[in-house]
Amino acid sequence: MGGVRGGQSPPRRALARLIATLPLLLALACPALAAVGRPEDRLSDAAMEARAQEIGRELRCMVCQNQSIEDSDADLARDLRRIVRERVVAGDDASAVMRFVHARYGDFVLLRPPFNPVTALLWAMPVIALGGGLVVIVLRRRRGLAGVDPVPLTEAEQRRLAELERGGGA
Question: Which CATH number, 1.50.10.10, 2.60.120.560, 1.10.8.640, 1.10.10.10, labels domain 38-114?
Answer: 1.10.8.640
d(CA 51, CA 43): 10
- Sketch the domain layout of the chain as residue ranges: 38-114, 115-147
Structure pTM?
0.50
> CB under 8 Å to 105, separation ≥6 — which residues?
62
Q: Looking at residue 34, what is its pLDDT?
A: 47
Q: Looking at residue 30, what is its pLDDT?
A: 56
Per-residue pLDDT of the chain (170 residues; tens, 9 = 90+): 445 555 667 777 777 777 877 777 666 665 544 444 555 567 777 888 889 899 999 998 888 878 899 988 888 889 999 999 999 999 999 999 999 999 998 888 888 877 888 778 878 889 999 999 999 999 888 877 666 667 889 999 999 999 999 886 65
